[in-house]
Amino acid sequence: MEKRKFDINSLIGILLIGGILAWMTYNSPSKEEIEAEQQKQEQVAEENKETTEVKEEIKEVTPVEINSASATDSLALEGLKNRLGSFAFSGTLPSAVEENTILENDVLRLTVSNKGGQIVEAKLKNETQYLGEPVYLIKDGNSDFNLQFNAENRSLNTKDLFFEPSLSQNGENNVLSMKLKTAPNAYLEYRYELKPGDHMLDFSIRTQGLDGVLNTSQDMFLNWDFKGYRQAKSITYENRYTRLTYEHENGGDHSKLSPAGEDDETEKDVTWMNYRTHFFSSMLLTDTPFKEVQLTSEDLVKDETIDTVYTKKYGAKMLLEPKAGGLSYDMNMYYGPTDYQIFKEYDRNLDEAMPLGWGIFGIINKYLIIPVFGMLSSWLPAGIAIIVLTILFKLLLSPVQYKQYLSQAKMKVLKPEMDAIRKKYEGNQMKIQQETLKLQNIAGASPLKGCLPALMQIPVFYALFTFFPTAFDLRQKSFLWADDLSSYDVVAELPFNIPFYGDHVSLFPILASIAIFIYMMMSTGQQMQQQQQPGMPNMKFIMYLSPLFMLVFFNNYASGLSVYYLTSNLITIGIMLVIKKFIIDENKIIAKIEENKKKPKKQNRFQRKMSEMMEQAEAQKKAQQKRK
């Protein structure tokens, strides 16, 4: 067996290994150092993970998300720059989170968001809706105001970007500047200025220092979408007077979109538009007419028996014309009552946004009825003012009505003789008409003379019919059992809905229907006793139709209108009774007719022509009978 010998090389290796182990032991970290190193490594791993996530998010991030990115994150800022170009400057601001600024006076409170720089809440301080809650024209996203433009080959929308707000004073006016910046002195600005006690505010869109940023050669659009809130008790009645109206052709014409279904129009040189919701208006006006505007309207009330939040949806897409240096538009916004007296103060044809009637009807409303009722309602309660107004107009029209009643009285006196003519020439309708006209001409009586006074009253009656539903002074004014003269009165609730009538019973329309029926009995009863002539309307049918129409369709109308009709017909009945009992003497009329019969009666040209035509027709009829 071979013996082991001492190996010097192994000894050297052992010594070297021992030395290395001793050095490692001496320099090994403590327990605390090891734990600290582990925490450091975990932190580095977490930071690397976040950086990786940011890189992935930048590829799919929306403009809103970009604007919310951290200003210290270089990768996020790079993505911001790629998406927004120079407008990425706004996204780097510390305030690039959604915040609101309040702009208000004693009648209007506006909440403006720095996201989009637009009004997100418009509250009328002195008005309440039918449930007693404040009136909000803008709230909870029902309005979207957006400027769509191109910058550095990018299509941008202001509604996705964050503006920098600045609130200041201009004398007594409150001013809010919202700036979308590309640099400290380069920006797109929305400027709002609100005067004390005013529902109209100045609004402008301007750019500064964006000459090389905005692409002014491409179309720029200002879009305003809006859904009108329900504010009244009767959705049917309110929706009937909710409508988009506008002025175009640079102030030369005024038009409306349809109040029912869907409608759209494209107009040139539009100077203002009114998103009207019966008694309240949201308007945009411009000093520089919009070159072209696409207007849309949609009725959102599909079932009037179901409660709804909105009445109509409006939209306007306005084509802007930037100047060489950028964009500059001076405009106004209006959030307030649809009130003729307020609209007239601005001297911008805003009263054309109100349904006061066309032609002579609108003139009567503007220059007669509205001023008189405004004066009366400033002294008297609204219900009493309606009654006094009705009395005044009845007195004004009393001479016309007197002539109407006098003609009816003459026709009544002539009835025996007219019956004799019909009996004498029975079967010869042409001869009956010819002899009847002769008798009426001699006596100075004619149905036409009774109709003309009635026709003369129609413009006033129709003007009043259009006035009461739009009179803001009647809103939430009570009278007797009606708590709001601008809406229907309720004396009984029905457990079901009757088509066209509703789910309630209104008393004022019932009383007005009874008064109309009595009046029709008094005014048409005599004519109903006469033989019905061919081609003449069935007076009995009309006598029943008018009260029925009032009873059914006015059940959901403003009670103020029913008060007017009730008062008007009661006064008319009273006037008829007074004229019949104390003014018109039938014996005197008979004596006057007999006296006229003795005098030769000269016919005018029209009467001669009619007589000749009737004689020719009678001759032709006789000739035809001879041929047979």
Which pLDDT score is estimated for 147?
94
End of a domain among 314, 339, 355? 355
Tell whether 367 and 239 lie within a shared domain: no
Judge whether 50 lies within some domain: no
Tell whether 438 and 380 lie within a shared domain: yes
Rounded to whole angstroms, the Cα distance separating 455 from 400 reads 10
Looking up tokens 């009654």 gives: 387
Q: Specify which residues 295 forms β-bridges with.
A: 265, 316
Q: Sign of the CA dihedral 89, 95, 99, 100?
A: negative
Which pairs from 405-409 meet CB under 8 Å and 24+ separation?
405/575, 405/576, 405/579, 405/580, 405/584, 406/579, 406/584, 407/445, 407/446, 407/447, 407/449, 407/450, 407/453, 408/450, 408/523, 408/526, 409/580, 409/584, 409/586, 409/589
End of a domain among 70, 91, 112? 91
Tell whether 68 and 118 lie within a shared domain: no
- Average pLDDT over every residue of 273-279: 94
Looking up tokens 């998010």 gives: 57
Judge whether 26 lies within some domain: no
Judge whether 30 lies within some domain: no
* Environment class of 172 (CB within 10 Å of its CB; exposed 0-12, middle 13-18, buried 19+): exposed
Judge whether 424 lies within some domain: yes
Judge whether 34 lies within some domain: no
Q: Would you report the helix, strand and coil content of the chain in percent, each value rounded to 5?
A: 45, 25, 25
Q: Helix (H, G, I), strand (E, B), or coil: what is residue 99? A: coil
Residue 406 reports pLDDT greater than 60 = yes
- The total number of structural domains in the chain stands at 3
Do 54 and 73 form a contact (C-beta atoms < 8 A)?
yes
Cα of 457 vs its chain's centroid, Å: 30
Rounded to whole angstroms, the Cα distance separating 548 from 399 reads 29
Tell whether 534 and 578 lie within a shared domain: yes
Which pLDDT score is estimated for 25?
44
Looking up tokens 């400290």 gives: 184
Rounded to whole angstroms, the Cα distance separating 530 from 126 reads 59
pLDDT of 501-538, one tens digit each?
Answer: 888 899 999 999 999 888 888 776 545 444 444 444 55
Q: Helix (H, G, I), strand (E, B), or coil: what is residue 597? A: helix
Tell whether 299 and 379 lie within a shared domain: no
Judge whether 3 lies within some domain: no
Tell whether 138 and 220 lie within a shared domain: yes
Tell whether 202 and 69 lie within a shared domain: no
pLDDT of 336-353, one tens digit each?
Answer: 999 999 999 999 999 888
Tell whether 580 and 529 lie within a shared domain: yes
pLDDT of 80-135, one tens digit each?
Answer: 566 666 666 655 444 467 889 999 999 999 999 999 999 999 999 999 988 889 99
Residue 191 reports pLDDT greater than 60 = yes
Tell whether 343 and 429 lie within a shared domain: no
End of a domain among 66, 91, 116? 91
Tell whether 220 and 86 lie within a shared domain: no
pLDDT of 525-578, one tens digit each?
Answer: 545 444 444 444 555 666 677 788 888 888 888 899 899 989 988 988 888 788
The boundaries of the domain holding residue 247 are 100-355
Enter the DSSP assignment of 184.
T
Looking up tokens 């809706």 gives: 129
Judge whether 44 lies within some domain: no
Residue 201: give its domain's CATH number. 2.70.98.90
Average pLDDT, the chain: 79
CA trace torsion 493, 498, 500, 501 (10° rounding):
-30
Tell whether 342 and 394 lie within a shared domain: no
pLDDT of 246-255, one tens digit each?
Answer: 999 877 789 9
Judge whether 232 lies within some domain: yes
Tell whether 182 and 152 lie within a shared domain: yes
- Average pLDDT over every residue of 453-460: 74
